[in-house]
Chains A and B, each alone.
Chain A
Amino acid sequence: EADIYQTPRYLVIGTGKKITLECSQTMGHDKMYWYQQDPGMELHLIHYSYGVNSTEKGDLSSESTVSRIRTEHFPLTLESARPSHTSQYLCASSDSPGRTTDTQYFGPGTRLTVL
């Protein structure tokens, strides 16, 4: 099982602010993911990474960007937050090489509210 951390857990900010949601895992997993989830709704993949210096967009279009400079760290940035970005953001990681499938383990999530 992965130890995966997200900060902050809750964030309330004003429109136009730049924010970075942090995600770190301590298991050395190559793959990391970001999902967006509106309350009571299904999860949608917005970004993923197969390893260092690898990032790809997910199935749901997002104005956010990600980077993967270190294996354990996968931050998500919004350059200018808007109320439409209000949602829960969940980070996950898995220990499988390349495009193969393995169990994804999730962090506790960040609940973002943009006023």
Chain B
Amino acid sequence: AQKVTQAQTEISVVEKEDVTLDCVYETRDTTYYLFWYKQPPSGELVFLIRRNSFDEQNEISGRYSWNFQKSTSSFNFTITASQVVDSAVYFCALSSNNQGGKLIFGQGTELSVKP
């Protein structure tokens, strides 16, 4: 069975601090895909990144960076120099073709960035 675990339920930081959101996944599929979504208070889910299991290269996009490590089944998300606008719930998700492309979500991490 597939599973995604986000052990951090809530994180609170002060603006300009760096923060890392953890994501650990379980799957028996050899080809799979990992995602991060942001859910601001307005409720919609905003797509941030997608990573394929055969590509372990880490990625940086502005203040956001992602560390994918197959050896530890982790796909962690770091925000550098956090801002108040980063306050949201962040979801990690897993999918594979064997599962028909359906997304399995983690429990979410609520990030609060205080000024």
Contacts and interface: CB of A to CB of B under 8 A. Distances in A.
Q: Give the contact-size bracket for chain B.
A: 20 to 34
A25 B37 CA distance: 19
B43 interface: yes
A108 B42 CA distance: 8
23 contacts: A1-B47, A31-B101, A33-B102, A41-B107, A42-B91, A42-B105, A42-B107, A43-B91, A43-B103, A48-B102, A59-B102, A96-B101, A99-B97, A99-B100, A100-B97, A103-B50, A104-B47, A106-B44, A106-B45, A106-B46, A107-B44, A108-B43, A111-B43
A101 B101 contact: yes
Pick the most buried of A40, A42, A48, A88: most chain B CB atoms within 10 A of its CB.
A42
Given A40-B110, A108-B42, A108-B44, 19 more contacts: A42-B91, A42-B106, A42-B107, A43-B91, A45-B102, A45-B103, A48-B100, A48-B102, A88-B43, A90-B44, A90-B45, A94-B101, A96-B101, A101-B95, A101-B97, A101-B101, A103-B47, A106-B45, A107-B44
Interface of A: 1, 31, 33, 40-45, 48, 58-59, 88, 90, 92, 94, 96, 99-109, 111
B31 to A, nearest CB: 9
A104 B100 CA distance: 13
A101 B50 CA distance: 11
B64 interface: no
Contacts of B89: 40
